[in-house]
Structure 1
Amino acid sequence: MYFTLEDLLRVTLATEPAPLMELGLATAMLQRPGTDPVLGRWRQRTLRIFPRSARPLLELIPPTGKGPLFLDPLSQGLDEGLDLVRSSSPSFVRADLARLCKAGRPQTWWITRLAHQDRDAWQLLEDAVRSGHASLLAPAWHRIASAFDAEQAWRAHILAQHGIQATLTSLACGIRWAGTVMEIVSPEEREIHLAGRGITLLPSVFWTGRPLVGVYPRGPAVFVYPAITPLTLLPEPSTADPVAVLLGSTRAAVLALLTRERTTTDVARELGISKSSASEHTKALRHARLVVSKREGQAVWHTCTLLGLGLLNQSGAINEATKSPPPLIG
């Protein structure tokens, strides 16, 4: 893969999981028996419940994961992704499907009708995507998003501490650099010239194969690589408030209250705790850089930092922060 200076300046981390990309990779993994024991039980269980309405995806997406590019755009949700799929240019769709069949997928009547923009064929595709998403992704989306956040934080740390070269070579085994050319060990001979478009790094909790690179007509190329922790090794979601688990229920309530500036007396009164207790909690949060405090006369005012707001936002608690938490004691 050939990088220009402009490409190196445009290496970015995806901001969130891509639902259609994950759906395609999950569909590919369903067709790879014995390739990864970590996903073996998931594959057996999923094949038993995989809905008939989603099975057309098996025609389009091969076990290699190199399915149609028009079917896996980066998007912020299923509906937006489907809008992008439907807006793909007919020439791009035809060329993409021709590439797919040339690589070994059977040219079925349905694929032919897709290439000719048949309305019923495209409706069948949308139904298959929605059904596959509901079966494969929706039940696990909380875990997928949590794994993505952890992966993003880790890669951002590597990028900040060690730079772009170390970040890219750490994505998978068999990646090395020769000048501004990144080489990936693969049985496939392929040259990719980024030509200034840049590249977005996207982890997948389903994919365990070699990295995949998608070069789209517009926008940056996408480099898909296996996340550090695959889906089957992720813990089941907890109903507990993660901020409360981390900080304790009272301190989490204090932090949520401080999305608006309040005094120590305000905190004590609104949460039904003593002023000394409120002072201890705000002090601990200040030392953790989650709140900042300032004194005005006899009063000390406290408010969340960006770090504190980010913590609340990631947990979903930010949506409740404008409401006054109930007193913690009667």
Structure 2
Amino acid sequence: MHFTAEDLFDVTFAPEPLPLVELAMTLVAAQRTDERAVFGRWRTRVGRELPGAVRPLLDLLRPDGQNPQFVEPYARDLEEGLAAVRRAGARLTPDQWHTTAGRAPGGPGWVRALSDGDREAWDHLDAALRTAHTALVAPHWPRIRQAFRADVAWRARLLAAHGIKACLAGTHPSARWTGTVLEFDGPPAYEVHLGGRGLRLMPSPFWTGRPLLAEGPDGPDGAPLLLYPALTPLPLVDAGTAGGALDALLGRTRAALLQALVGGRTTSELARDLDISLPSVSEHTRTLRAAGLITTRRDGKAVLHAATGLGVDLLRSGG
């Protein structure tokens, strides 16, 4: 992503999570195979409990996240979103429908019916979205909002302490700056020139891949939207009220891990002291390291972790 000075001055956060965007990310996350230590049991449960009426949505929403935006409208409630899905779908070009149908693993039949304006197919899509929202998003909406707000609070603090470049580079472990160009590793490869439009940031507690860039709510002339993995994935967000500000931001286990790392620990010591598995420790430390809160180095066969100055500062501010 190529930034101008004007773009760097106009980086903002989305004001809140959006139900159909998070629904799409939920169905994408359920099909991915990464971050098993965090999402493994959650994926198993979703696969077992997913209503049959929802499964056709998997033809539209693939694990790479590069999905048709018409099923992910920027709407603040479900009814507004479902109406927006129909309006946006009617505006898709034949080429866009052809691309969407070509990605469907179950064959293009149902998607082709949508492109032809078949009323029964569109009613089927509406019912599938409603059912999926009821089963997968609505019961967890307070936790989704908590993860969203905690990430925005953390990025704002990172922005204040270290500047906009550190804030943006912290959205993914592969992110790096070359001058005023922000780069992420991984396919597909493409370049975007923001050209003074700015950028809007949206964390998702379900997305686990590299950040996704999409057209923003104001259309092609407005700021694009960068959707990136929230600091705390949904399976790590505690249900109910968190024990403190730091728990709300990081999740209780991750906050305890950061506290333990003020004095430094090996991976095995963290697993023993916190009574969690070694794969879970690895997932937690990877995320804390990507956020600049800890450092990791190898000492012989052991892997040593320690809190950074930024991590210690966060612990102080969080009590």
What is aligned with 1:114?
Answer: 114
Establish whether residue 220 from structure 1 lines up as the match of residue 223 from structure 2: yes
RMSD: 2.4
Matches within 5 A, 1:116-155: 116-155=116-155
- 2-structure distance, mates of 1:150, 1:93: 38
What is aligned with 1:195?
Answer: 195
Establish whether residue 80 from structure 1 lines up as the match of residue 80 from structure 2: yes
How far did residue 230 of structure 1 move?
Answer: 0.8
- 2-structure distance, mates of 1:193, 1:119: 39
How far did residue 101 of structure 1 move?
Answer: 4.0
Is the Cα–Cα contact under 8 Å of residues 151 and 203 in structure 1 kept in the other structure?
yes
Matches within 5 A, 1:1-330: 1-33=1-33, 35-88=35-88, 90-92=90-92, 94-102=94-102, 105=105, 107-215=107-215, 217-218=219-220, 219-238=222-241
* Residues 52-90 of structure 1: CA deviation (Å, up to 9, x unaligned): 111111110111122111111222122222222222163
Amino acid at match of 2:144: I
Is the Cα–Cα contact under 8 Å of residues 24 and 61 in structure 1 kept in the other structure?
yes
Change (3 A) 1:199 1:116: farther
How far did residue 22 of structure 1 move?
Answer: 1.1
How far did residue 31 of structure 1 move?
Answer: 1.3
Identity %: 43
TM-score calculated relative to the size of structure 2:
0.69
How far did residue 193 of structure 1 move?
Answer: 2.5
What is aligned with 1:288?
Answer: none
- 2-structure distance, mates of 1:102, 1:42: 29
The count of aligned residue pairs is 242
- Secondary structure at 1:207's aligned position in 2? coil
Change (3 A) 1:61 1:89: closer
* Residues 209-240 of structure 1: CA deviation (Å, up to 9, x unaligned): 221111354432111111111111111124x9
- Secondary structure at 2:235's aligned position in 1? helix
The gaps in structure 2 that reach 5 residues or longer are 246-319
- 2-structure distance, mates of 1:85, 1:196: 29
* Residues 159-196 of structure 1: CA deviation (Å, up to 9, x unaligned): 23322211100111111122222111113221123333
What is aligned with 1:285?
Answer: none
* Residues 122-144 of structure 1: CA deviation (Å, up to 9, x unaligned): 21111111111111111111111
Change (3 A) 1:7 1:104: farther
* Residues 277-307 of structure 1: CA deviation (Å, up to 9, x unaligned): xxxxxxxxxxxxxxxxxxxxxxxxxxxxxxx
Is the Cα–Cα contact under 8 Å of residues 70 and 93 in structure 1 kept in the other structure?
no
Is the Cα–Cα contact under 8 Å of residues 60 and 103 in structure 2 kept in the other structure?
no
Change (3 A) 1:195 1:86: farther
How far did residue 91 of structure 1 move?
Answer: 4.1
- 2-structure distance, mates of 1:152, 1:84: 26
Change (3 A) 1:189 1:34: closer
TM-score calculated relative to the size of structure 1:
0.67
- 2-structure distance, mates of 1:104, 1:55: 12
- 1-structure distance, mates of 2:29, 2:14: 22
Is the Cα–Cα contact under 8 Å of residues 3 and 180 in structure 1 kept in the other structure?
yes
Larger radius of gyration: 1
Change (3 A) 1:79 1:197: farther
What is aligned with 2:312?
Answer: none
Which deviates more from structure 2 when the two are superposed, residues 213-222 or residues 150-159?
Answer: 213-222
What is aligned with 1:290?
Answer: none
